[in-house]
Structure 1
Amino acid sequence: MNDAYGPDSDWCLMVVMMVMMIPLLQRSHRRKRTKSIEDDEEGHLVYHNGDMLRARYEIIGTLGEGAFGKVVECLDHSKVALKIIKNIERYREAALSEVDVLERINSLDEEKTFACVRMLDWFDHHGHICIVFELLGLSTYDFLKENGFMPFSLNQIRCMADQIFRAVQFLHRNKLTHTDLKPENILFVDSNYDMKYNFKMKRDERTLKRLDVKVVDFGNATYDHEHHTSVVSTRHYRAPEVILELGWNQACDVWSLGCILIEFYLGLTLFQTHDSKEHLAMMERVLGPIPAHLLQKARKRRYVHHDKLDWDEHSSAGRYVRKHCKPLKQYMSSKTPEHELLFDLLQKMMEYDSSKRITLEQAIGHPFFNPIRKERNQ
């Protein structure tokens, strides 16, 4: 499911929820409703442009839809994104947990230094938690998709990564792990672009006017002291320690960010699979063998045979992995020092052993970001 609070996204949404049997919504003065509103067969709220929530938020369109519901664009002096939660206890609890996280991180960053989405308001509408956010642009995934999956440039990646790393490091410093970092959950503040012809690719290319981004979807954010569920993260960005059930911590966010950066670089997802053992085999193809000491501790014993990944390279699945994956450095489109630095950083972010994986504080200090540091010091 793609998650966004942006106006142009195809799927745009994280945990936005359906509304069940919501009482009569007020209508704007342009339209009047004469009968009470019911949900559709899937449990989504039946609404129309012009409906009012809380006698304040005027619905002007749908931003996106996901398994759990919808995000609508509303007018409240200015445009906002409003997330409507199902009137079901487990979703209410998850939403209230997200509100708690958002209130905390927003209050700790009153100067708006870090690139985390701002919650503007929240309220309980007859059992439905509604969360109001600033309205952002397309997700980085949707921009890639609408641009024909053309990769971002190295300078664009550096600029976006600097903002994202600092935002997630801010979470880590405050004892939070995001747990669901992916391109769908990184949104451009403004996704307006210029269209230019790319002579090398022989096609039109969208060039963003601004590279400001924000991290969204704190519905699965977990405090250090809270219970850590065994499985976190969306499949393609899931760290090996999560798959092997070795236990996880903030380092799993670093792995996810490494996967995101190489996706920005390639325009395509690195680990395109829906099977855990195949996922681990892809990791080995790209990053080399998983250390025996990690496999020995793995709770998922069916993935392991004689302290090695139980994988047949000569099977049809094995041939698929060999065809679709290659060693990390072979993905480099150039051997220039800048590209070498990016791949050195990626190697450190995608270290199998989470205890040896680079921290975000260390990553921000990596030489790949030297041009940004020089610019700031001028």
Structure 2
Amino acid sequence: MLDMSIWDLYSQMQEPFSLNEIRPITQQLLVAFEALKGIGIIHTDLKPDNVMLVNHKSQPFRIKLIDFGLALLASEAEVGMEIQPISFRAPEVTLGLPITEAIDMWSLGCVLAEMYFGIWFFPGASTYDQMRAICQLLGQPKKHLLDAGINTWQYFIKGRGLTPGWELMTPSQYKMVSGVQPECPSWYFDDVKDLTGAVMEKPEEHDYDTSEDKITLSEVMREDKMAFSDLLNALFNLDGQTRITPGQALEHSFVTMVHLEDNMYSNPHASEAFEMMDICTLDLSDAMCDPLSDPSENGETDIGVT
């Protein structure tokens, strides 16, 4: 009934998504997660396979979030539950901290980063490999989080004496504790200092100067990259209690495009950004259809509810 997943689209394109392609998908997923948060439901299984394009030819980048088979009520989430695919798993799930709707926002960050870089963002070979990658790119979770996590001991060692803080286990230490040899695969971000640097240093196909007498595309693209980087960092907040919420993210500059407004008529990237976001403002009748009412009463065509 739906067209294809964004994973299918990526497989066809064989290249990462542009910021202007990522933006409308981001906005629509945030609307979905804002609605779920309002009724206390955690999806728990966000990944590219579960984001479907409705009809990419007639309505480019209009999407729906699918597969609620593993969804659960936030009120029923228990500390220590093993949920979410490893590559999209929030650190509070791995560490054994309280689970809230915020874990879906972490997964959203993973999906957006995967679309942008065109790779699995965090290695999913094991939970240790994932935690090691998180600490390398984003830094180590704060002490109060590690102190509270019931699974922290599986990945971190607490120092003694002059160094009472927590330290991530080495691969050999992890093997001694778990009996499992981590793969520690080479990683796209091994030589990158931080997430912002990774976003800003990624080359763009259309990142070029148009002229010297007006704002160049490079400068506009740089501002857009900074906005995207800021949103990713907010989604990858290691503390689920202070991670950006769907409502807050909908007001973020990457989504609202406030930083592109001055150049929307003079710059190709900015113009395209506003054009592609039109899909997010359309009055889509099937999204608002009341399944209990008779569409013919309003003179509408019954196109079904997904």
Q: TM-score range by the shorter chain?
A: 0.5 to 0.7
Deviates more, 1:269-278 or 1:158-167: 269-278
Partner residue of 1:369?
Answer: 255
Partner residue of 2:148?
Answer: 297
- Preserved contact between residue 311 and residue 318 of structure 1 (Cα < 8 Å): no
Partner residue of 1:277?
Answer: 128
Looking at structure 1, the residues matched to 62 and 9 of structure 2 have their Cα atoms a distance apart, in angstroms, of: 13
- Preserved contact between residue 287 and residue 328 of structure 1 (Cα < 8 Å): yes
- Preserved contact between residue 285 and residue 321 of structure 1 (Cα < 8 Å): no
**Alpha-carbon distance, 1:227 to partner:** 4.6
For 2:110, the aligned partner's letter is C
**Alpha-carbon distance, 1:231 to partner:** 1.1
Which of 215, 223, 226 is the matching residue for 2:76?
Answer: 226
For 1:182, the aligned partner's letter is K
Which of 350, 366, 369 is the matching residue for 2:236?
Answer: 350
Which of 140, 155, 158 is the matching residue for 2:6?
Answer: 140
For 1:183, the aligned partner's letter is P
Which of 195, 204, 215 is the matching residue for 1:328?
Answer: 195
- Preserved contact between residue 129 and residue 184 of structure 2 (Cα < 8 Å): no
Q: Note the aligned Cα RMSD (angstroms).
A: 2.7
Partner residue of 1:257?
Answer: 108
Which of 329, 333, 337 is the matching residue for 2:223?
Answer: 337
Identity of aligned residues (%): 29
Q: Evaluate the alpha carbon distance shift between residue 247 and residue 188 of structure 1 in structure 2; reply closer, same or farther with a 3 A threshold.
A: same
**SS of residue in 1 equivalent to 2:238:** coil
Q: Evaluate the alpha carbon distance shift between residue 154 and residue 227 of structure 1 in structure 2; reply closer, same or farther with a 3 A threshold.
A: closer
For each residue in 1:4-49, what CA deviation from the matched residue of structure 2 results, as whole angstroms up to 9, or x when unmatched? xxxxxxxxxxxxxxxxxxxxxxxxxxxxxxxxxxxxxxxxxxxxxx
Looking at structure 2, the residues matched to 240 and 214 of structure 1 have their Cα atoms a distance apart, in angstroms, of: 26
Looking at structure 1, the residues matched to 127 and 240 of structure 2 have their Cα atoms a distance apart, in angstroms, of: 18
Q: Evaluate the alpha carbon distance shift between residue 225 and residue 343 of structure 1 in structure 2; reply closer, same or farther with a 3 A threshold.
A: same
Higher helix share: 2
**Alpha-carbon distance, 1:295 to partner:** 1.6
Q: Evaluate the alpha carbon distance shift between residue 323 and residue 314 of structure 1 in structure 2; reply closer, same or farther with a 3 A threshold.
A: farther
Partner residue of 2:46?
Answer: 181
For 2:228, the aligned partner's letter is L
Partner residue of 1:58?
Answer: none
For 2:73, the aligned partner's letter is Y
For each residue in 1:118-152, what CA deviation from the matched residue of structure 2 results, as whole angstroms up to 9, or x when unmatched? xxxxxxxxxxxxxxxxx10111111111222x111
1:309 to 2:168 alignment: yes
- Preserved contact between residue 176 and residue 250 of structure 1 (Cα < 8 Å): yes
1:212 to 2:98 alignment: no
Looking at structure 2, the residues matched to 287 and 267 of structure 1 have their Cα atoms a distance apart, in angstroms, of: 19
Which ranges in structure 2 are unaligned for 5 or more consecutive residues?
159-165, 175-180, 204-220, 262-273, 282-306
Q: Evaluate the alpha carbon distance shift between residue 369 and residue 227 of structure 1 in structure 2; reply closer, same or farther with a 3 A threshold.
A: closer
**SS of residue in 2 equivalent to 1:294:** helix
- Preserved contact between residue 87 and residue 120 of structure 2 (Cα < 8 Å): yes
The alignment covers a number of residue pairs equal to: 227
Q: Evaluate the alpha carbon distance shift between residue 226 and residue 285 of structure 1 in structure 2; reply closer, same or farther with a 3 A threshold.
A: same
Looking at structure 2, the residues matched to 218 and 175 of structure 1 have their Cα atoms a distance apart, in angstroms, of: 14
For 1:153, the aligned partner's letter is S
For 1:275, the aligned partner's letter is S
Which ranges in structure 1 are unaligned for 5 or more consecutive residues?
1-134, 193-207
**Alpha-carbon distance, 1:328 to partner:** 1.1
Within 5 Å, give how 1:164-203 maps onto structure 2: 164-192=29-57
TM-score by length of 2: 0.68
Looking at structure 2, the residues matched to 179 and 165 of structure 1 have their Cα atoms a distance apart, in angstroms, of: 15
Looking at structure 2, the residues matched to 227 and 271 of structure 1 have their Cα atoms a distance apart, in angstroms, of: 24
Looking at structure 1, the residues matched to 234 and 4 of structure 2 have their Cα atoms a distance apart, in angstroms, of: 29
**SS of residue in 2 equivalent to 1:247:** coil
1:154 to 2:45 alignment: no
**Alpha-carbon distance, 1:180 to partner:** 0.7
- Preserved contact between residue 232 and residue 242 of structure 1 (Cα < 8 Å): yes
For 1:210, the aligned partner's letter is P
Looking at structure 2, the residues matched to 323 and 259 of structure 1 have their Cα atoms a distance apart, in angstroms, of: 14
**SS of residue in 2 equivalent to 1:336:** helix
Looking at structure 1, the residues matched to 54 and 139 of structure 2 have their Cα atoms a distance apart, in angstroms, of: 37
Q: Evaluate the alpha carbon distance shift between residue 310 and residue 171 of structure 1 in structure 2; reply closer, same or farther with a 3 A threshold.
A: same
TM-score by length of 1: 0.55
